[in-house]
Amino acid sequence: MLVLNTIYPQGIRIPDYFIGKNILHLPTVKCHIYTQTTGALNNAYGGLLNHKRHQTHSVIHETLVDLLAIQQEIHPGIFCIIDGTTAGNGPGPRIMKPFQKDILLAGNDQVAIDAVAAKIMGFDPLQIKYLRLAQERGLGTATIDDIDIVGDSEIVHENWGFKVGYSFHKFAGWVTWFGPTRFLQDLSTKPPLLYLGNFYAFFYHDVLHWPFQEKRIYQSWLQESPWGQLFEAYRKQGVLGKEG
């Protein structure tokens, strides 16, 4: 482990259900305010870590690499299909601007999947710390020239020009986990201050951004994008359930 053994000194606890099971990851192609891109590697973050995962944000790149090492130990098979039919630009993973890109990437090397996604979004995969660390530790391939791309091999020459951009949530995260006040994170990521942080996230995203900005973007995507129209058709047919 790079960092998880220090964050969980009493032992890293994971759901025993996952051990010995094949795993299929279904992330999307989009930006992330802390890791620049998010996809196959980030997908394990919510599944393998418990409530103390807030304390991993200041070392999020190393955490993702540790989680990949754990996955490769406990899962006999790992496969990923990353959805780029609609890709997310901007300060993700929540405040995004959708762009229709009409691609799907699939493979059993999560590092390679995220590297290709990063490349076509407009980033240098080896400049993204979690991808570089994962390759250095032999957990996958992040060097584009070493990845065998079957299908539309010319896709790696695309550059969508995506930018993470700025949001107040990114600034708040910097204050908590990366800035000069990060020494307070142990206090701020535990109850009762943790509940205040959760309320802030709810208020910022669900009260301020959703009704005044994100809802309009979502509804526009549903009405104007063929993928949004397909999504809405599935919802109306009950395929996705009442909440979509």
pLDDT tens sequence across 142-179:
999 999 999 888 899 999 999 998 776 666 666 666 66
Contact 45, 72 (CB under 8 A): no
Q: Write down the pLDDT at residue 241.
A: 63
Flag whether pLDDT at 196 surpasses 60. Answer: yes
Flag whether pLDDT at 73 surpasses 70. Answer: yes
Domain ranges of the chain: 4-165
pLDDT bracket for residue 238 (50, 70, 90): confident
What pTM did the predictor assign? 0.87
Kind of pairing between the strands at 78-89 and 36-38: unpaired
Q: Write down the pLDDT at residue 45.
A: 87
Tell me the Cα Rg of the chain. Answer: 18
Q: Write down the pLDDT at residue 186.
A: 72
pLDDT bracket for residue 244 (50, 70, 90): very low
Q: The tokens of 231 are what?
A: 């999504």
Q: Write down the pLDDT at residue 170.
A: 63
Q: For the chain, what is the mean pLDDT?
A: 89
